[in-house]
Every structure is written in structure tokens, then in C-alpha cells.
Amino acid sequence: MQIHELKPKHKNRDKKRIGRGGKKGTYSGKGMKGQASRAGRKMVPIIRELIKRYPKLKGYRSFRMDNYFAIVNLNVLEKTSKDGEIINPENLIKMGIISKMKGKTPKVKILGTGKITKKLVVENCKVSKTAEEAIKKAGGVIR
């Protein structure tokens, strides 16, 4: 016996032809109009597949203020502040250096990029080691 001599064990079933007269006429169990009643329709819940494809990203509610620091460099303070001025988050907002986040005053961290020559009083701010050294060298105070 060769491959071309093989025959199926069961007879193939005839395809059901609906909507061609006879008992399965008119709408033929497909309802009226629309995509579902058309020939060759493939109804896939596309939006579900798109949603499943996206990674699970963090939403806006997961943003937490306690993790956020507004960063200010020494060169910005040199340009915008006067000698002997108090530097704190509220004053930085008034100067326009930082802005409020969701109506709240953010925490501030001062970094040591740039040079400073003015005596500044820094309050309620985190300060990096290099910035601290530069402010103290210029005659400023960190509280």
C-alpha cells in the first residue's frame, strides 16, 4: 500500500449551506444586519487583545510625593539669590526656581554643580556633600 492509495475511514460531512432557500432561509439564525450576519465574519474581541498586550504600567496614582525631590544646583542659586538670603522650599517657589507638585510643596535637594560665592542660609533642604562644602566655604549656613 502506498500513500496515494490511502483513503479516510469516515466520509466528510457536507458544509451546511444556510440562507439559500429551504428550511434555513431568511436570516438563517444570524439575526438582522451588522457584522455578525455577514459572510466570512470573524468577531474577535480586539480591545481585549490590545489591553492584554500592554505592559502593566504604573498609573498616576502610584506617584508618591515622599519619593520626589525637586533638584536645585548651586549655579542656579548663584544666579537667582542675593547675599544672605534664606533658601527654603517656599522661597524657591516664590523665586520660580521650583514649582508645586499637585498643589503641595515638594522636598528640595541642593546639588553641588557649579560655584557659589554668596553667603546663603539653607533651611529645610537636603544638601549633597559637595554642595555643603561649597556653601560653608562661601560663608553660608545649613540648618
Side-chain half-sphere CA neighbours of 49 within 13 A: 4
pLDDT in tens, 81-107: 999 999 999 999 999 999 998 888 999
Whether residue 117 is contained in a domain is answered as: yes
Q: Is the pLDDT of residue 67 over 80?
A: no
Whether residue 133 is contained in a domain is answered as: yes
pLDDT in tens, 30-42: 888 888 888 887 7
Question: In this structure, which amino acid lies at residue 40?
Answer: G
Q: How many domains does the chain have?
A: 1
CATH number for the domain spanning 138: value is: 3.100.10.10
Q: Which domain, by its residues, includes 110?
A: 78-142
What DSSP letter does each residue of 95-137 carry, written as one string? HTSS--BTTBPPEEEEE--S---S--EE-S-EE-HHHHHHHHH
Q: Is 93 within 8 Å of 101 (Cβ atoms)? A: no
pTM over 0.85: no
